[in-house]
């Protein structure tokens, strides 16, 4: 069976999964590859991992195009994804209206589940926010860091901590059973990241990659994008 090879940020995993049946019906192709921290996925492409399509942050895709690894004319924005707070299903929702409220939420948690703080979009942002709030050292021992947001959220769901909390991209929270999207980060601490798709310059299946991009941005998939956690860019 032919497969389209993808390297993608974990933010797009739920959306791609929801479109896979339609993609296979149109092309006869399955979708194979990896979803993970965007920096790690970009490095895999640089290491010549066979890849037809990437879905990564707009900044990284632009860099890969400059490196002649992604075809510039194929680059297409999919949507914005917020970094947000998560709790276990059944736990009280946590909201933070301002930076002080977020600081308090994090300080009262005994375990904070986050993705890679050096290679993932959300993890890098969490590290910055902790420093901004002046609590990086205080909560360092409570951080539970995993390779990507999806893994962090699965671990949050299974946690036996007393008051755990998670912070990653909303799409990864929405697509994980056992956790709930609790709320966006407050003004001054927020992050909304544009995710972008592009066909690689060495794609073995470029027409099928372009077909998937068409599905990802199609008007008929607007509700699916919203359910998965993708927002339209402000006009």
What is the count of structural domains for the chain?
2
| Structural domain contains residue 219 | yes
Give the tokens for residue 77: 């924005």
Answer yes or no: is 115 within a domain: yes
Determine, yes or no, domain membership for 233: no
Tokens encoding 211: 């077909």
**Whether residue 87 sits in one domain with residue 16:** no
125 and 180 together in one domain = yes
On whether both 180 and 208 belong to a single domain, the answer is no
Are 101 and 184 in contact, with CB atoms under 8 Å apart? Answer: no
Same domain, 76 and 100: no
Q: Are residues 105 and 63 part of one domain?
A: no
Give the chain as a DSSP string: --EEEEEEEGGGHHHHHHHHHHHHHHHS-EEEEEEE-HHHHHHHHHTT---SEEEEEHHHHHHHHHTTSB-GGG-EEEEEEEEEEEEETTSPP---SSHHHHHHHHHH-SEEEEE-TTTSHHHHHHHHHHHHHT-HHHHGGGEEEESSHHHHHHHHHH---SSEEEEEEHHHHHTSTTEEEEEEPPTTT--EEEEEEEEBTT-S-HHHHHHHHHHHH-GGGHHHHHHHT-BPPP-
Query: Which domain CATH number covers 46?
Result: 3.40.190.10
Residues of the domain holding 204: 3-80+193-228
Longest Cα separation, the chain: 53
pTM for this predicted structure = 0.87
Query: Residues 58, 145: one domain?
Result: no
pLDDT tens digits, the chain, 235 residues: what are they?
699 999 999 999 999 999 999 999 999 999 999 999 999 999 999 999 999 999 999 999 999 999 999 999 999 999 999 999 999 999 999 999 999 999 999 999 999 999 999 989 999 999 999 999 999 999 999 999 999 999 999 999 999 999 999 999 999 999 999 999 999 999 999 999 999 999 999 999 999 999 999 999 998 888 889 989 999 876 6
Query: Exposed, middle or buried, 224 (CB in 10 Å: 0-12/13-18/19+)?
Result: middle
Residues 71 and 142 in one domain: no
Instruction: Tell me, yes or no, whether 59 and 108 share the same domain.
Output: no
In a domain, 76, yes or no: yes
């Amino acid at each position: 069976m032919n497969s389209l090879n993808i390297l993608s940020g974990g933010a797009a995993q739920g959306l791609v999964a929801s479109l896979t049946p339609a993609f296979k019906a149109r092309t006869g192709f399955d979708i194979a590859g990896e979803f993970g921290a965007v920096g790690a996925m970009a490095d895999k492409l640089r290491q010549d991992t066979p890849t037809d399509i990437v879905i990564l942050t707009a900044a990284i895709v632009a860099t890969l195009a400059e490196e002649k690894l992604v075809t510039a004319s194929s680059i297409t924005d999919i949507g914005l994804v917020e970094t947000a707070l998560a709790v276990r299903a059944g736990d009280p929702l946590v909201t933070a209206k301002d930076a002080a409220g977020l600081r308090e939420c994090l300080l009262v948690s005994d375990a904070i589940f986050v993705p890679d703080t050096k290679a993932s979009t959300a993890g890098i942002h969490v590290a910055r926010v902790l420093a901004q709030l002046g609590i990086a050292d205080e909560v360092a021992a409570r951080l539970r860091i995993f390779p990507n947001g999806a893994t962090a959220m699965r671990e949050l769901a299974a946690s036996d901590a007393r008051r755990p909390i998670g912070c990653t991209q909303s799409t990864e929270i929405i697509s994980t059973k056992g956790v709930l999207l609790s709320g966006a980060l407050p003004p001054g601490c927020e992050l909304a990241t544009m995710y972008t798709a592009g066909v690689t310059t060495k794609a073995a299946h470029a027409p099928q990659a372009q077909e998937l991009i068409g599905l990802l941005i199609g008007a008929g998939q607007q509700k699916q994008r919203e359910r998965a956690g993708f927002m339209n860019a402000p006009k």
